[in-house]
Structure 1
């Protein structure tokens, strides 16, 4: 089996050597990948309830994020399709939807194009206007979680949120349950490992909101939260080229990051639409879902609890 795992776009770049290092961290080699991919593909043939099948490349992405646990990879691939029906509010609009485009024009956000020295992908975000609709912004972010399965490989993700512009009005817009649903997707569906959460320039009136967000995190993730009083201290955690120019680094500018994300949006919008609209046929599911802390009891999806 020939697996095409080379970098697909400079917008989310990684070298062949970096990819090999990511595998080595998990005790795998390139030569061992086809066997694991085949196991998943054979399992997929016996899952008539799934509306779509991931590509070989996406299977490798899920294997990496789940440390090559075959069973966990199966669960997360299943969850990736099942969740579209459980949380449709987060998958109702593709990146090019007019509502989403309006909101993202008011936020500077996206991924840095190169992996950092820890082989992590860095995400940055800064609000530019209070006219944003947060749910549309969450739809946009969820689209990028999906796109990363198509065209990116990293060891973990790190996030930088700059609150330089964050009027009190935004605190009243924040719905903690919506945020917790997004966090559930990151951790329990896409299995994106969070290596760091950096909050910068938090105004005093937003501190309670940030503390609430932190309380949602697992204890090991809470230990990776860093509060910065200014942008200057980001240099203690990131290489200069991993920090946007506006944040005091030598990396690409926020406008360039936004342009890059728009390029990806246009390239994958049709795929995201198809994926968002895909629904699992529960009547065809061969075995009941495991009663875990995410999907809840089989047959009781609509009562999913996230508190």
Structure 2
């Protein structure tokens, strides 16, 4: 498939709340946006390593916004993202929202988006204790997370306002932790933190058992200094709601909206973006000529397909 950039006429249609956020936090304006989109499309067309890449505005703005419209940094992010998808194909390929396992996992809700808070950020609740070890392996959990992130980051308001993650460790066992090999922990944290076009604004952990502290500290050690400052630990839900409004949480946590409503909303959004997410599989990059891999190989010694953590280390989260 040839890589022919697609130019679509972009129009900002979100509310003033998001327009203000885009201007103040991301330095976004009509002029800068149009210029940056043209520049990144030109770069895609001329990059011999990229065999095919989406170039519609919705997709490219994910990278421009996370890099605050530094188009050179956004280009690097695109290339790293393409490498990531190809290197970790088991995590990203064939993310079909109609498969039975997806519905089963939504029922168990180890990962559940909760909608948007008062300043427009997406809230995502992660409860690993709900993860059914008899039915799934850790890669299934990664695939579910990537399916959710890919779907929600098609939504412009998430690109602009970012996300808040709430990690509830209630029900977490040593078996849940033991299912994650160290290599997967390192690579997954690095993908989310340094490569996936994701604006993580806050991370809140609650009810963390003593035996999970060492693993949590290991995960945090892989995070960028900026993200480390955004991680907050709470002993209880009462402590959590000092930082996250109770009304934003499910009714089962004392909030207003029942869990089943959030499950329904997730199913609707995944269905909405099903074809878009599946079509991401068409994107391809030639790893042998990929510039970011060559640069990082010479700088930090790229190990192999299972040890590419160093190659993504330079990108900072915002």
TM-score normalised by the chain length of structure 2: 0.81
Change in 2 beyond 3 A, CA 1:236/1:201: same
Q: Please say if 1:141 is aligned against 2:142.
A: no
In the alignment, the residues of structure 1 paired with residue 28 and residue 283 of structure 2 have an alpha-carbon distance, to the nearest angstrom, of: 32
Q: Please say if 1:262 is aligned against 2:263.
A: no
What secondary structure, in the 3-state scheme, does the structure 1 residue paired with 2:51 have?
A: coil
Structure 1 unaligned residues grouped into runs of 5+: 8-14
State which drifts further: 50-59 or 108-117: 108-117
In the alignment, which residue of structure 1 is the partner of 2:11?
4
CA offsets 1:237-270 (integer angstroms, 9 cap, x no match): 12333322223333x3332222222112222223
Structure 1 ranges of 4+ moved more than 6 A: 295-298
In the alignment, the residues of structure 2 paired with residue 133 and residue 288 of structure 1 have an alpha-carbon distance, to the nearest angstrom, of: 31
CA offsets 1:211-230 (integer angstroms, 9 cap, x no match): 22222222332232222111
Q: Contact 2:62–2:197 (CA<8 Å) still a contact in 1?
A: no
In the alignment, which residue of structure 2 is the partner of 1:163?
169
Q: Contact 2:126–2:166 (CA<8 Å) still a contact in 1?
A: yes
In the alignment, the residues of structure 2 paired with residue 36 and residue 280 of structure 1 have an alpha-carbon distance, to the nearest angstrom, of: 22
In the alignment, which residue of structure 2 is the partner of 1:274?
279
Q: What root-mean-square deviation, in Å, do the aligned CA atoms of Structure 1 and Structure 2 show?
A: 2.9
State which drifts further: 56-65 or 236-245: 236-245
Q: Contact 2:83–2:287 (CA<8 Å) still a contact in 1?
A: no
TM-score normalised by the chain length of structure 1: 0.83
Cα displacement (A) at 1:71: 0.7
In the alignment, which residue of structure 1 is the partner of 2:66?
65
Cα displacement (A) at 1:297: 6.7
In the alignment, which residue of structure 2 is the partner of 1:174?
180
Q: Contact 1:123–1:158 (CA<8 Å) still a contact in 2?
A: yes
Change in 2 beyond 3 A, CA 1:165/1:303: closer
Change in 2 beyond 3 A, CA 1:102/1:142: same
Q: Contact 2:169–2:208 (CA<8 Å) still a contact in 1?
A: yes
Q: Please say if 1:305 is aligned against 2:311.
A: no
Q: Counterparts of 1:226-305 in structure 2 under 5 Å?
A: 226-250=232-256, 252-276=257-281, 278-282=283-287, 289=293, 291-292=295-296, 302=305, 304-305=307-308
In the alignment, the residues of structure 2 paired with residue 267 and residue 123 of structure 1 have an alpha-carbon distance, to the nearest angstrom, of: 18
In the alignment, the residues of structure 2 paired with residue 296 and residue 144 of structure 1 have an alpha-carbon distance, to the nearest angstrom, of: 32
In the alignment, the residues of structure 1 paired with residue 239 and residue 167 of structure 2 have an alpha-carbon distance, to the nearest angstrom, of: 13
In the alignment, which residue of structure 1 is the partner of 2:314?
none
Q: Contact 1:159–1:196 (CA<8 Å) still a contact in 2?
A: yes
State which drifts further: 44-53 or 96-105: 96-105
Cα displacement (A) at 1:286: 8.1
In the alignment, which residue of structure 1 is the partner of 2:27?
27
Cα displacement (A) at 1:91: 1.4
Q: Contact 1:93–1:100 (CA<8 Å) still a contact in 2?
A: no
How many corresponding residue pairs? 296
